[in-house]
Amino acid sequence: MPSDYEFTSIETRWMKDWIERKAWAAPEVPDPGRKRYALTMYPYPSGDMHMGHVEIFSIHDAIARYLRMNGHQVLNPIGFDAFGLPAENAAIQRGIDPKKWTYSNIDKLYSSAQRLGCSFDWDRKIATCDPEYYKWNQWFFLKFYERGLAYRREAPVNWCPKDKTVLANEQVVNGRCERCDTPVVKRYLAQWFFKITDYADRLLEDLDLNHGWTERLKSLQRNWIGRSYGAEVEFEIEGRDEPVVVYTTRPDTLWGATFFVVAPEHELATELTVGTPVEDRLAEFREEVGRLTEIDRTSTERDKQGLFLERYAINPVNGERIPIWAADYVLTDYGTGAIMAVPAHDQRDFEFARKYELPIRVVIEPPGEHLDADTMTESYAHDGVMVNSDRFDGTPADRSVQVVTDWLQEHGLGRHAKNFRLRDWLISRQRYWGTPIPIVYCDHCGEVPVPEDELPVVLPEDVDFAPSDQASPLATATDWVRVTCFKCGGPARRDTDTMDTFVDSSWYFHRYVDPHNDDAPYDVERSNAWMPIDQYSGGIEHAVLHLLYARFVQKVLMDMGMAKDPEPFPNLLNQGVVTMYGKRMSKSRGNIVEPQEAFERYGADALRLFMLFSGPPEANFDWPEEGVTAIEARTFRWLNRVWLFCEENRDVVSVGDLATEPEDDALRRQIHRTIKVVTEDFERFSYNTAIARLQELVNQAYRYKSVGGGHPQVIREFMETLLKLLAPMAPYLTEEQWHRLGHDDSVHEQTWPSFDPDLAAEDVVTMVVQVNGKVRDTIEVATSITEDEMKDRALASEKVRSHVGERTIAKIITRPPRLISLVVPESDRS
RNA sequence: GCGAGAGUGGCGGAAUUGGCAGACGCGCCAGCCUUAGGAGCUGGUGCCUUCGGGCGUGGGGGUUCGAGUCCCCCCUCUCGCACCA
């Protein structure tokens, strides 16, 4: 009586074996045509491994192992996104050194990944908090600076009052801090930006190169970049030399522009009121607006607030004097920060006009209808015909924008223009645990970049981590801050902010090809040999963060001659998240299921299969109420069934030629069909159905034994095929049984099985007979059946005949060999 | 409001091209085995049924010999964007 699957010692043995002989090491440079770069988004080391990691790694590892078995040289590295707020917060709350905290988490996560049986190339490990890594963040920063892609500017920025740092637009979700959910406020600060807007068109257009992206993800990015087409129009301002430019998507409504609005924070507002009685009221108004959180400011329910600046602009198309207002519904950083207001045809302008009793003039009407400005209750923003617009009266809406813009351009009043929702990437952070920005400030020379040979600017350790509203933690490292200017040798101060950690993750996949390089971020030749990433996997939560920033940086690298591919990851698999009771697992919710317990009770393979079997990889996985015990019923018992079959049958040896019986052929056919469909399933990442097919095969093998089947070659073919097909998903059990079957090499180094087409083809199929579209009989037939035979067999069926009755058959549709459909008149059935 | 995606048994899900809806598994039911079972084995399991059959993939209509799949309308849910001019 063979014993059950005892995984503990087996897992330990093979884990050691794989690591010691570097089983997953990729060559420095791959053979041409054989490379596959498989990458999973590097994890943030916030503690030990959690179920989210287990899911991602299980899927990703199945991909990598499958590629390897298909003869590819696979680069499958792992590293750690090691900078970031949680380390610092842990340091503040528990008095632990952020460095120690981070590295100890990295150690835990690294060995848990080994225990899970991941096939990473362990020696390529990187941690972004190593000076050897972040030195190159600083190097890239300087390169960006040289190219005019990094600049410092005072601007209204998103400030999280709890985390006490600024945030990028991408990190503000519904007006709240993405990390701690605190409402964000605007602050005026001098900050560093990366000029991602220079690449907006390319980021938009190259999305089509990413064939392996979901439409959903592409649409998220398109939305975020938000390109719109329209016109820039010049408005003269009374008493000002220079005209002011506004951006509009509807230049055809210019004749309906009855007032002009600037954002309260806009410098034009200050300029227009300085020295006038309005000056103080504007300052007050601006302060009022500044106190609002982004949520309040952008709430559509809130009443729009405005202030008449007592100045006038001239409408360029009709020379009308229109009043200039400051209003909180106009944003400083979109377009030019000033707009022409067309209340009749824009809902926001309409509400504002009604509130402050400003004139409304209709210039677009629905065909054949009249709109009355005095009685309308909302703006009319649909298609129509131009009216009250001089020579353009009667122009239909489908041409009006083009025609008017052409005319404006001809007369020097405006021009065609486009605009983006995307803003430049704010990379300064007022926090400690990140890459110091390699810039010093000199009273004499101003902003001075740290020379390359002075890199890295190492993060100081003697720092008060506690964040404040006034200064970054690094400012408390007074000795570190004080430097001599690299240009003039005079006194200077270091920039005390650190970089957004998304800078780190925007190029880490290049570092993996050459992780120990001291002279450059990476060797370009090597990177070119491995890039692009053939299969990337990770969560969709990075849709407009990492996945957008990394694409931007890749394009800059390309322009610098450091990359050859416009897109770094054309194929992307977005796994779902692991939840329980529909909510993301988290300590604060108390709905955590620990992988450690699962490892101990059921082993890594059962846990991996459990994740893979639950559903498609893109779907979220809601952990069942039972907790880890669910693994027992769903996958551990089946693994044990596989184990016992191998234990009971591995000593079956061949004794010369054996005649094959029909049941032998049946099992062989099933084996080859299974190879075919499981291979197809792997190609489309459909692991849940692959496992289902393997379960069917195992069921069939047990049935074969129970009816007396026992052909040694067939049994062996079954076991070896099963182990190979299962190996990418359950690496430990398959490795152990592979060796128990007498092999000296690893199952993971075997070639993925191929099928015999003759065997995989079905010889007998079930032919369905329909009468008027309804299934009336099913008949077992040979695959090679002819259409005539099909008709004969169908018409011979009692069941079919009773449904046809006396009626004549009007039409017969045959789809050999599976289907025949008889059409008879619906009338009086007797 | 704009954009994207989804809706299938008690549950997770399957059906790649318009061709037997519900594979595989969980759960449940019955039986066998066992001192015992949270083990193992066998069979059953969409709903209704007068046992002929009828109905069935969110609802309604359409195309077709045939629709979960294609087309139109509607409902619900999820996600993203949203005072972006």
Cross-strand bridge partners of residue A691: none
Average pLDDT over residues A600-618: 95
pLDDT per position as a tens digit, A279-299: 999 999 998 888 877 777 777
Average pLDDT over residues A237-248: 94
Query: A591-627 burial, b if ≥16 CB within 10 A, otherwise e?
Result: eebebeebbeebbbbbbbbbbbbbeebeeebbbbeee
> Confidence band (pLDDT; 50, 70, 90) for A90?
confident
Cis omega (within 30 of 0) for bond into A816:
no
Phi–psi pair at A264, nearest 5 degrees: -60, -35
A765 touches A783 (CB < 8 A): yes
> Confidence band (pLDDT; 50, 70, 90) for A656?
low
Whole-number Å distance between alpha carbons of A593 and A578 = 10
Whole-number Å distance between alpha carbons of A759 and A668 = 7
The integer distance in angstroms from the CA atom of A615 to the C1' atom of B11 is: 13
DSSP helix/strand/coil, A496: coil
pLDDT of the residue at A89: 85
Angle of helix A687-706 versus helix A637-649 axis, rounded to 10: 40
Closest nt by CA–C1' to A693: B24
Its ipTM equals 0.95
A422 touches A124 (CB < 8 A): no
- Does the CB of A226 fall within 7 Å of any strand B atom? yes
Query: Which residue in A398, A313, A312, A380 sits closest to A342, CA to CA?
Result: A380
Query: Which residue in A587, A599, A783, A787 sits closest to A673, CA to CA?
Result: A783
Lowest mean pLDDT among A166-175, A243-252, A445-454, A518-527: A166-175
Query: Which residue in A685, A546, A532 sits closest to A615, CA to CA?
Result: A685
In the DSSP assignment, the letter for residue A396 is: B
pLDDT of the residue at A772: 85
**Which chain B nucleotides are covered by protein, judged by CB under 7 A?**
3-5, 12-16, 19-21, 23-27, 38-42, 53-54, 65-67, 80-85
Strand B close residues, chain A 549-588, CB < 7 angstroms: none
Average pLDDT over residues A706-727: 93
β-strand A535-539 against A621-623: which pairing, if any?
Answer: unpaired
- Tracing tokens 């009773």 back to the chain, one arrives at A802
- pLDDT mean across residues, chain A: 91
Residues 6+ apart with CB under 8 A from A20: none
* Residue A92 Cα distances to A163, A243, A397, angstroms: 12, 52, 60
Whole-number Å distance between alpha carbons of A687 and A483 = 57
Whole-number Å distance between alpha carbons of A674 and A726 = 11
Cross-strand bridge partners of residue A418: A229
pTM for this prediction? 0.93
Type of residue at A443: D
What are all long-range contacts of A100-106, with beta carbons under 8 Å and residues at least 24 apart?
A: A102/A45, A102/A127, A102/A129, A102/A433, A103/A127, A105/A45, A105/A46, A105/A47, A105/A48, A106/A45, A106/A80, A106/A82
**H or E stretch at A429:** strand A428-429
Average pLDDT over residues A740-761: 95
> Confidence band (pLDDT; 50, 70, 90) for A830?
very low
pLDDT per position as a tens digit, A433-490: 999 999 999 999 999 999 999 999 999 998 888 777 778 899 999 999 999 999 999 9
pLDDT of the residue at A521: 98
- Does the CB of A156 fall within 7 Å of any strand B atom? no
How far separated are the first and last CA of chain A, in Å rounded?
Answer: 64
DSSP helix/strand/coil, A614: coil
The integer distance in angstroms from the CA atom of A282 to the C1' atom of B61 is: 60
pLDDT of the residue at A654: 66
The integer distance in angstroms from the CA atom of A741 to the C1' atom of B39 is: 27
Cis omega (within 30 of 0) for bond into A323:
no
